[in-house]
Structures are given as C-alpha cells and as structure tokens.
Structure 1
Amino acid sequence: MQAFEKLGTFYLGKQIETVTGEVSDRLLLYDAKDLTTHAMMVGMTGSGKTGLALALLEEAAIDGIPAILIDPKGDLGNLMLQFPDMKPDDFRPWVDDAEAARKELSPEAFAAKTAESWRAGLAQWGQDGERIRRLQASAEFAVYTPGSTAGRPLQLLRSFDAPPAALLNDATALRDRVLSAVSGLLGLLGIDADPVQSREHILLSNILDRAWREGRNVDLKALIQDIQAPPFEHVGVFALESFYPAKERFTLAMRVNNLLASPGFAAWMAGEPLDIQRLLYTPAGKPRVSILYLAHLSDTERMFFVTRLLSEVLAWIRAQPGTGSLRALLYMDEIFGYFPPTANPPSKLPMLTLLKQARAFGLGVVLSTQNPVDLDYKGLSNCGTWFIGRLQTERDKQRVMEGLEGAAASTGDGFDRDATERLLAGLGNRVFLMRNVHDDAPVLFQTRWAMSYLRGPLTLPQLASLPGNAPEHAVPQVLPAAKPQSPPTAAAPQQREPPQSAAPAPIVPPDIPVYHLRSPQAEADCTYVPSLVAGYKLHFVDAKAAVNEWVGRTWLVPFAALTGEPSWDAPVLCETANRDLVRAAPSQARYAALPASVTRPKALPAWTKSLTAALYQHATLDLFAFPDLKMVSRPGEPLGDFRVRVCQTLRERHDEQVASLKAKYTPALRTLSDQIRRAEEKVDRERAQSGQQKMNTMLSLGATLLGAFLGRGRSRIGTVGRAATAMKSAGRIGKERADVARAEESLDVLQRRLQDLEQQFETATAELSAAPHPETLQVETRAIRPRKSDILIEILGLCWIPADTFYSFLPKR
C-alpha cells in the first residue's frame, strides 16, 4: 500500500528543498484532522489554485469525507470528469476544439494527446486508473444548479422551513438564522435593508421568528398573507399600523408576489429540497460531493443562495454531536465579495459563525480567493492552515502576511515574517507555501497531478450532458415505523376510478367521528371517497437498547372492495394529518357510496378492537444495531443516516488510536531528531577543525621549507625545530580525520535508528483498521414490540379523502 493511501492522510504533492528549489521525494501528507481548524487558499489566476483544491477534495472523497462545494465560477464541475480508463474517447467531448486548432491538431488527435498526457502525469505522481476507480467508488459526485434544470435543481423559494428544536432553544442561533434568511430574501428583492433600521427587515424578522417558534414552516404564499395581515398587533411598543401601515405593507407584499409569479423563478421552486444531510450523503449513506454551480446566477441571486446555504449548514452542525475528527467539508471557490472587512453583506455573519463554531462539530471550512485584498482577515485568523500560491502585487503579499500573522497570534505560535516573505518571493506555478499551525515550520511543496480532468469552467449545456447527474427521485414512504407484518386476509380495493354515481354526504352513525382530508383542487370539483382514519401512539421500551419512546402515527385505512371491511393490511401513512385533517365538511363536495360495514351497529368499538389487536400482534419499532460498538439507531432514523453515524464513530476511534500512537512515538522521535541535530553540528565542527588543522599544517610546512632553503646559521637551527612541529601537526591531521569519521559514523547510526523508528510508527498506523464504507457496513435489525397497555388510540373514525389522492395511495396492480 502506498504511504498516501492511509486513512486520514491527504496526498497533496511533494516537498521542495528550500535551499536548492528542487522537488524532493518527500511526500506532502496532510493530516485530515487539521482541516477542522479550517483552511485558506490564496493565489493569482494561473497559480495552480484550482488543481490544489481539486486534489484536496479528491483526497477527502477517497477518505469517505463528504463535501459541499460552492462554485461561483464553474471550475469545480471538473470533478465530474473522472476517466479511469483514460481513453481518448473519454476526453473527446471535453477538449477545447479551438485549442486543438491552435496546435494544428484535429480534435480527435488532441483528445488522444490529452489522454496520454494525463496518464503520464498521474504515473509521475504515483497514481493510476485504479486510484480513480477508488475515488468513484468512495463517493457520489453531483452538480446542483439552483434556478436552472441543467443540473440537479434545488428548492429555495418554496418555503422557509422551521429550524430543528436544538436551534430553536438557542436564542442567539435562532436570531442569526432569522437575520440571514430575511437579509437574503430582501437582497433578492433588491432591498438593501439594515437589520436595525429597516422596517421591512424588522417586520419580516418578526413574522419568521413567530412562525418558527410555533414550529410552522413559512412558504412564500403564507409570507405574503402574513405581510398583509401580520399575526401580531404591535412591533415593539408601537402599534402595527403606526410602525408599518397596511398600504405600505401591501407594496412589500406585491414585491414578494412579483418574485413568486416571475417565470424565471419557477426553477427556484422545483427540484430537491435544500437538505444538508442529503447534500452530504445519499439515502443509502454513501458520502456525496455536492457541487453547487452558481456561475449562471446574478450577483444578487448568488448572495441569496449562499446566505441560505450557510444558514442551513449552521443549523445542521448544531444538530450534530461534537467530535474532534473531520466529519465533512464546506469549500467555497471564491470568497471575494462574501466576506469583506468593513461591509456586512448577508453572507458574512453565517460565514463568520461557521469559522468560529464549526470546528467543534467536525466541519472543515476551506475558502479560496484570487483577490486577497478585500477580505476580513480578522475573521480569517480562525483558519489554521494557509496555502499560498504566486501573488500578483506587493499589496496582495502584505495583506496575506497580515492574515498569517493573525492566524499565528490566535494560536500563540511564533511567526518569522522575513523568512516567509523570502519564500513567497520565489513561488512558481503549482508551487505553494503551506503554513499550518499544527506543524513546526512552513512547508514549500508542488501540488500533485489531479485525477479529475482540468477542463476549465463548464457551461450549463455542458453540465446538462454530464453522465450520472440525473436528479434523485424520492421514494414514497407507504408504511410507518410501527407496522403490521402479517397481513390479514381482507383484500384491498381494486377500483382505480371514482364511482360515477357521486352523491351528497351519506348519513353516518352519530358515534363515529367524521373527518375530511383537504383537497389539493377546488372543493366543488372534488369527489370524496370513504376510508378510516386511525391515529395512535405506541410506547416502545427496551432497556438493553436504551429505548423509551412513544411513536405516534396517523393511518388512512381503505375499505376492502369485496367485504367492505377495513383493510388493516393496506394502511397508508398520512404525514400531513395535523395540517390537512379537518372536521368541517367542504361545501358542494360530492361523495362516493358508503360501505355497509360503517352503518353496522357498534362498528366503532369493533374497529377499535381490531386496530388494537392488529397493532399488538404485528406492530414493531424496527431499529438498526451495530453490535461491535453497541450502537442502536434512534427511532425513525433512516438506515443510511445510521450507517453514517456508525462510520463517523469508527473514524473517531481510528483518530484516537493514531493520536495515541503519536503520543507514544513522538518523544522518542523528537529525542532522536535532537540527537541527530547535535551530531550534525559535531560533524560540521570536526570537519571545520580538520580543515583548519590541515591548513595550519600546510602553512607550517611551507614556512619550514622556505626557512630551510633561505635561512642561515641559527635560523637553520630554528628551521629544524619548526620542521619537528610541522611533523607533529601532520600527525594531528590524521587524528582529526579519525574524529570526523567517528562523528559521521555516530550520525549515520542515529539516522538509521530514526528511520527504523519512523518505519515502526508507519507500520503501527497502517495496521489500524480503516473505517468501512457506509454502504458495506454490516448492520443488524432489531424489532421492539409494544405491550397492550402501551397502545393508545387517539383518533378513529370515518375519513373522506379526495378521490385522486385516495387512488394514488392504493398499490398498483
């Protein structure tokens, strides 16, 4: 196994010798955990910043780390261009025909040349097609295009969903989320609103705050209604009409309505919901790299989207348990304009909050820019790792130096400004200086070859042609968590069209409650079909699994076509019962015929008994378990999400084991390193002494020979003495050489011991079990049954359902 294939290690390139400027064989292996303190990438156009970013994201994906990538320029779509076979036909649709013409090549020949270049480039950096296959198998890659159907569309304007309970209980977090949501919406409307001074901002903030505290989602239609008739009479101490008169509120409501009615915004209301968990993982639990392509949007639309996204990410991390391991990545390819030093665009507050708080929840934030001047470097002092490429102006360099000093000061580390400036002055293409607060010194390195084909920015038509980027279709949930397992013999209804002889509402026995399910169409055009509605609660208790949970569900139970009895084997979960189930009958509605069983004496007690028996005999709470860690899923937790949670726990255990090994080996490695440093100093000192002794001996011998030839009388006698001294000095040369040899031998022994110790550490870390892939995790299923005394029937009665809705519930035959 290659050294860079270990879990938790990101292979980013090779280190460069700072003295010679040559690329060495030493790999730059970045510790994934260091990204929990966030990272900043800075470099001018052409510095290789995109290649470095893609390399880091590829390493994270291979490691099973999901990522959300904000792509304002369109470069990150290149991650979809992964060609493990490296055939010319794979590259042909993506090479630039104009570039081929400039090189006097046909597009086919240029594609073949590109394929060979990519194969050779990967091989030079120890990579091949098999590693690309590993990348594809480790994560799903998808491109989302909000406001367009070229990629996977995302819903943003359909509603402002209420945040989870954990966030509602945090007053500061709720305030920040309201502020971001309202600022983003007003920005989309072209209203530059101050949160403290603007009436529009204050009014909308009060509306959202009130709705969310009541647990209500707010769609744009409801928001328009609430603007015209707010659910409160005072704003602060002022009456609503004094603060914001109805006529002026109508103007604001019209602006929101115009946005809603605009044909260009229809795409903003279609597609998958903005769900951070689903952007990070597939329903099966496979890590996902979600590329959020924004190049087609206006500046106002981008700001709105980024603000909403960051607010949703904040809500997501606050619902996660704390961890010291890297759980996910958030990468933004160009932060310029979203995080300025003095202005306060809607995106700044959630971004600053993420930089301050995301670390505790294992979310690494990686930011990138080619415009390093207009950034809030006080906020960016929260970034522990800086990747600095070639910079364009002296002003850019000075601003980056300020950011590095701030990052060093925030951790109490020293910072050598002069040495850093010298290193920055010599940066070339694909050469970066890494300043990591977790390392002792900056590192100069060249980035590795990206596995993805660097095509350049992709357009919407190109995104539409990407293979494997079809939208995900939700699978309807037709059975509840507590469900019958052995169906009775009653047959489900077979009819598919509403009966032709629809009539007014039939007479129902007075002891049977009657409900209606709201119709999605005009009530006067709707025919209602009978069924039962059963709302119940089941109490599931299992001390071993630490489960003590009441599970409430509402079923719609059709009547069997042949017998007219309730089909307890064919219930349908009604997830919108709280909203759509009403007692009042709609006006002018038509009704299908009522089964005879409804008018039978004591029908309601019989249904109650049958429902209770069915639930007692067949209802279970199905939980998932991973015995090795004694982990059990939460009630209602999807299997994919449970797999993700188990893998995260295994990763944390792996990181703890690695940290333990580092704690064990680091003192010995540091001691040996210090001994080698002193031994190197001794070798240098002995060599210097030997050289000086040799020089002194040569000078003494030369003076003796001159004296012997040119001297007379007594001077010749002195010459004989000097000759004897010179001979003694010549003898000391041998001794000095022996000292040098012994010093070099001692240094060699220490270096071998260091290599052996490093090899022991590498072997020990390689033997640690890697976290399994979520989709291959072996998970058990456990069924918990309720006691009879733990079955509570809350609602049981007749329910009239719109015919179209009713027949869509029935199984297709």
Structure 2
Amino acid sequence: MEKVEKFKKVLTDGQVYKKDFLILGTGILDGNPVSGAQIKLPLKTLNRHGLIAGATGTGKTKTLQVLAEQLSLKGVPSVLMDLKGDLSGLAQPGEANDFILNRSKVIGVDYDPMGLPVELMSISNEKGVRLKATISEFGPVLISQILDLNDTQRGVIALIFRYCDLHHLPLLNLKDLKRMLQFVTNEGKEVITKEFGSVSSASVSTIMRKIIELEQQGAEKFFGEKSFEVEDFCRQKYGRGVISIIRLTDIQSRPKLFSTFMLSLLSEIYETFPEQGDDDKPKLCLFIDEAHLVFDNASKDLLEKIEAIVKLIRSKGVGVYFCTQTPTDVPENILGQLGLKIQHALRAFTAKDRKAISKTAENYPDSEFYETSKILTSMGIGEALVTALNEKGIPTPLAHTLVRAPITRMDILTNNEINSLVASSDLVGKYNEDVDRESAFEMLEKKMEKIEQEQEKASLPKPNLGTARRTKEDESLIEELSKNTMVRQLGRTIFRELTRGILGSFTGKRR
C-alpha cells in the first residue's frame, strides 16, 4: 500500500497544473492500473513536439487518435498524415462496450462517444481537398535539396529562378521547370551565357533525370495551383478544432514525394504563421505517421533544414509529433528537441532487436518503480511509457501508462461516408478547381513562335537570340505577359518572398 501511495505521489507531484491539460491515461504499477494516478499533458507545453513509438500492433496509432481527439475538444486543430488509411474514423463516434467502459472507469474519465470535425485532404488521387504548391513558392534552395543536387547543379537552378525573376516568367509546375532547363541549353543558350555565364549540358541533363524521377512518384499532381493556404489548417467548428487528415495511402511506395511534401508544409507554416511564443495552448499540432520515411530518404542538407524548423517552429505555437516504430528512426538532434515521449511496446525477436531495446531505454528517465528495458518488452496493447514536460518545462517522471480509449470510431469510414464528408467540405470547392494559367512554358513557346514569324515576314536568316538586342516590341510583349499574372497569386508570392528565410526558399524579390 505504501508503494502505491508513493507511486501516486511521485506522478501527481510533477503534474499539478494551473492551466488546461489533457488526460492521456492512468499509471500502472506491478502490472495493475492505479486509480488516482492520472497521466496529464499540459496544453501549454504541447508546442514542444513529441514522439509516439512502438512496434506494429501495439496501439501507437490509437494513441495518436486519442491525442487528436482531446486536442480537438480543447479547440486545438491538428493535421494528421495518414499513410495507413486508418484514421478517417475520427469523423464518426466510437462504440461503447464493457471493456472500454471498465478501462475508462479505472482511468477516471467518462466515455462519451462522438464524431469530431474532420477535413479529408490529399496530394494525389485520394478523395478530399487537393493540396498543391508552385515551384516558385518552393524556391531554388528547397528545390535543389529535394532533388539532392550538387553545388554546380544548384547553381543552374538558381540561374533559372533568377532569369524567370527578371523576365516575369512564373514557374508553377514541373513542366515549366523542365522547359526552362531546355531553354538554357538550346534556344536561350547564348543569351544565358552572356548574362550569367555558360551552363553545362551534363548538369542540365542530370537535373532533368532527377525531375523525371520525382514525376514518376506523382509529384506533378502536387506542383501547381491553386496553392493551399496553411491558415486553413487552423479552423474550428462548433468550438472544436478541425482535424485535417491528409490521406497518403497511395504514396507509401513514393517516399521522396512524401518527404518533399512534409518539408514544404513545415516550411510554409513556419514562414507564414506569426510569432506566438509560449501561449496557454498550441495553435496547431502536426502528427507525422511513419516518420522514418521522411528521414530515411532525406539528404544531409535536408535533415539539417528539418532540424532547424523543429527547433524554431515552436515559437509559432506549432507542435510536431513523429510517429514511428523506434526512437532510433529519428535523428538524435531532432529527438533531443521532443518534449513528449510516448513509447509503446517493442519486440525482442533477434539480437539486433535486443540491442535496439537497450538503446531505446537510454532515451527515457530512470524510474524507481520499474526497469525500463524490461517494461518495454512486456507492455500490452494500449499501454505505453510516458514522459512529458510540465508547465515549467521540466520532464515528468516516467510512467507506465494505461492509455484511454478513443471516443471516435476505431475503424475506417465507408466509401459512402467519405463521399458525404467530401461533399460537405467548404475547402473542396475552394481548392479542387484545376487552374493552368499562362506560365513559363506557354510564355516561352509564344515568344519563340513570335520570333519565328517575324523572321519569316522579314525573309531574313534566323537571328541569333543571344546577340539580338531586345526591341521595344519585345519589351512590350514581356510587359504584357507579366500583366496576365493573377493578382491573388502575385500578392501572396511577394509577401512570402519578403518574409521567408529559414529554408532559403526565396532569394529576393521574384516579381
């Protein structure tokens, strides 16, 4: 009895909160859940990021579901990257049974099944709001990092962006970027050499191949317009935070597209949201499922940028949560930035597994009530080791926790339910209209066509584009084409160009 009381005192002394908090579950001692030992997570520190780890089938996805639910009930919106397709059930109420009711009673919470406001989104062919971004919004540095280019190839990309800046050629999609690469080595070779220096055909060919590789992973559906405005993630309905579920089930075999999208999203949020500091609750929480896909396919430079964003995005009121099998899937420099750690069971089937478990145990505080490495392999489904940050930013004692059950459906939506959800969305009408306005590809084609027509009329040999002086008529053409840019897109792009910096996504004004 004394041990139980001591256990409760150790847990509750570190979790006396003046501000609002979430109840994740209750502590477990000697294999038995302890009433009155609730594990609480203060909203104030949920912008300090987190990790949800565990072997397949141990309940980490349901824990992610619980966190998204409780945040929504507190009015905090969240974004969930759903690679397995099992999170859509958040839109429908769960079903009570004796097991769930008993579990809730032990934890000391009511079980009140309900559906929550959900927005389905996609970067591919899945149903929902289409998320897109333009090549210009990525900028030369991020595009180069995504393509994993060397210094010489990066210089070519920077040159292309600069030329497009000067000549008012919008880079909206991969078609535009490929056309510009052809331009600098073909009809525009001499003028490019005169203005910027020679460009290696071998470098351009390598870049072209890497773009084709990205296209094969479905990136052509992601690059383009209308660009998604990340402010639309921060919505509430009926006082509850909207849960945006980005359905990625059809890109599991295309990790480069996934890592590209994830980094662009973090970058856009960081560079768009205003500074918020440490508020009483986060403005937005992002949950990245199967996070190892991001890190396994990222270059060294890309990892450094992710680390920089994770360190700095907290000041925007945004928490980032990585969901993966083991903490070792996350680079150490990023792992050290995570305030909340929820570790589900690991399985020790091989010598390598046992070494991984020993290393994982070192990532958590010592406990006087149990041996971490043993608990890691003996926990049941829906149990986890939990340590968080209290309101003062101090890590709470490690607690073997019985996690509460989700109040939403622990299964996927039917096709009819998905269709109904998508049909009722306000954002689908805003973003799912296909826009293919005049951009670099069309402008260059028209310009080349006009030059050829003028040559035919004059019955003169084809002039050298590099030595021909720009005529007033040519300048008026460029001016006229530049006026065709949509006012909304131009305004948003200029604003972003002036404010971006952390990823080097933009290098000065582009329009």
TM bucket, shorter chain = 0.5 to 0.7
Q: Does the Cα contact within 8 Å between 2:386 and 2:400 map onto a contact in 1?
A: yes
Larger RCO, structures 1/2 (Cα 8 Å, 6+ apart) = 2
Given candidates 47, 52, 66, the residue that maps to 2:63 is 52
Structure 2 CA distance for partners of 1:254 and 1:351, relative to 1, 3 Å: closer
Q: Match for residue 293 of structure 1?
A: 247
Seen in structure 2, the aligned counterparts of structure 1 residues 283 and 443 have a Cα distance that, compared at 3 Å, is closer
1:323 to 1:422, Cα distance in 2 relative to 1, 3 A? same
TM superposition shift of 1:392: 0.8
Report the Cα distance in structure 2 between the residues aligned to 1:419 and 1:263, rounded to whole angstroms. Answer: 45
> Is the 8 Å Cα contact of residues 160 and 219 (structure 1) preserved in structure 2?
yes
* Equivalent in the alignment of 1:474: 430
Q: CA deviation at 1:391?
A: 0.4
Distance apart, 1:60 and its partner CA: 1.0
For residues 579 and 287 of structure 1, what CA distance do their matches in structure 2 show? 40
Give the distance between the partners of 1:419 and 1:123, measured in 2 at CA. Answer: 27
Instruction: Decide whether aligned partners of structure 1 residues 123 and 207 sit closer, same or farther in structure 2, where only a CA change above 3 A counts.
Output: same
Separation (CA, whole Å) in 1 of partners of 2:55 and 2:233: 30
Shift of 1:267: 4.8
Alignment match, 2:290 = 334
Change in 2 beyond 3 A, CA 1:208/1:305? farther
Q: Secondary structure at the match of 1:207?
A: helix
2:379 is the alignment partner of 1:427: yes
Query: In structure 2, which of residues 119, 128, 131 is the aligned counterpart of residue 154 of structure 1?
Result: 131
**Alignment partners' CA distance in 1, 2:298 and 2:211:** 26
Does the Cα contact within 8 Å between 1:384 and 1:407 map onto a contact in 2?
no
Question: Which residue pairs with 2:505 in the alignment?
Answer: none
Residue correspondence of structure 1 range 305-384 to structure 2 within 5 A: 305-319=258-272, 320-325=274-279, 326-340=282-296, 344=299, 348-384=303-339
- SS of the residue corresponding to residue 474 of structure 1 reads helix
Task: Sort the Cα spacing of 1:155 and 1:337 in 2 relative to 1 into closer, same or farther, 3 A.
Answer: closer
User: Is residue 278 of structure 1 aligned with residue 290 of structure 2?
Assistant: no
SS at match of 2:337: coil
Aligned to 1:364, what secondary structure does the other structure show?
A: strand
1:143 aligns with 2:120: yes
Alignment partners' CA distance in 2, 1:5 and 1:418: 26
In the alignment, does 2:8 pair up with 1:8? no
Q: In structure 2, do the counterparts of structure 1 residues 433 and 119 end up closer, same or farther at CA, with 3 Å as the change threshold?
A: closer
Structure-2 change in CA distance of 1:436 and 1:395 (3 Å): farther
**1:10 Cα deviation after fit:** 1.0
Residues 259, 293 of structure 2: 8 Å contact kept: no
Q: Which amino acid aligns with 2:340?
A: T
What does the per-residue CA deviation read over 1:712-743, in whole Å, with 9 as the maximum and x for residues that have no partner?
Answer: xxxxxxxxxxxxxxxxxxxxxxxxxxxxxxxx
Tell me which residue corresponds to 1:453. 409
Q: CA deviation at 1:32?
A: 1.8
Following the alignment from structure 2 to structure 1, what is the Cα–Cα distance between the partners of residues 376 and 217? 50
Secondary structure (helix, strand or coil) at the match of 2:80 reads strand
Larger Rg computed on CA atoms: 1
- The equivalent of 1:35 in structure 2 is 46
Residue in structure 2 matched with residue 534 of structure 1 by the alignment: none
Q: For residues 294 and 347 of structure 2, what CA distance do their matches in structure 1 show?
A: 21
Contact 2:169–2:482 under 8 Å retained in 1: no
Give the total of aligned pairs: 413
In the TM superposition, what is the alpha-carbon distance from 1:54 to its structure 2 partner?
Answer: 0.7
Aligned runs of 1:56-67 on 2, under 5 Å? 56-67=67-78
Distance change (3 Å), C-alpha of 1:24 and 1:405: same
CA distance in 1, matches of 2:181, 2:408: 49
* 1:495 corresponding residue in structure 2: none
Relative to structure 1, the CA distance from residue 253 to residue 378 in structure 2 (aligned partners, 3 Å threshold; closer, same or farther) is closer
Matches within 5 A, 1:482-561: none
In structure 2, what is the Cα distance between the partners aligned to 1:12 and 1:213? 55
Aligned residues: percent identity?
Answer: 18
- What letter corresponds to residue 9 of structure 1 in structure 2? F
| Post-superposition offset of 1:448 | 0.5
Unaligned regions of 5+ residues in structure 2, if any? 1-14, 432-441, 447-478, 486-490, 493-511
The two structures, once aligned, show a CA RMSD in angstroms of: 4.8
- Give the TM-score, by structure 1 length: 0.43
- The structure-2 alpha-carbon separation of the partners of 1:404 and 1:364, relative to structure 1 and needing over 3 Å to count, comes to farther
Q: Classify 1:212/1:435 alpha carbon distance in 2 versus 1 (closer, same or farther; 3 Å).
A: farther
Cα distance in 1 between the residues matched to 2:428 and 2:103: 33
Q: Is the 8 A contact 1:41 1:386 kept in 2?
A: yes
Unaligned runs of 5+ in 1: 87-114, 164-176, 187-192, 409-413, 476-517, 523-575, 583-635, 638-813
The alignment status of 1:303 with 2:256, answered yes or no, reads: yes
Deviations 1:483-541 (A, max 9, x none): xxxxxxxxxxxxxxxxxxxxxxxxxxxxxxxxxxx99xx9xxxxxxxxxxxxxxxxxxx
**What letter matches 1:14 in structure 2?**
T
Task: String of CA shifts for 1:324-345, please: whole Å, max 9, x gaps.
Answer: 13221111111123224x9727
SS in structure 2 of the partner of residue 424 of structure 1: helix
Matching residue's letter, 1:309: M
Conserved 8 A contact 1:276-1:313: no
Q: Is the 8 A contact 2:422 2:428 kept in 1?
A: no
Q: What amino acid sits opposite 1:226 in the alignment?
A: M
- What are the Cα deviations for residues 580-628 of structure 1, in whole angstroms up to 9, with x where unaligned? 369xxxxxxxxxxxxxxxxxxxxxxxxxxxxxxxxxxxxxxxxxxxxxx
Partner of 1:182: 144
SS in 2 for 1:323: coil
Q: CA 1:362/1:244 → structure 2, altered by over 3 Å: closer, same or farther?
A: same
TM-score under structure 2 normalisation? 0.66
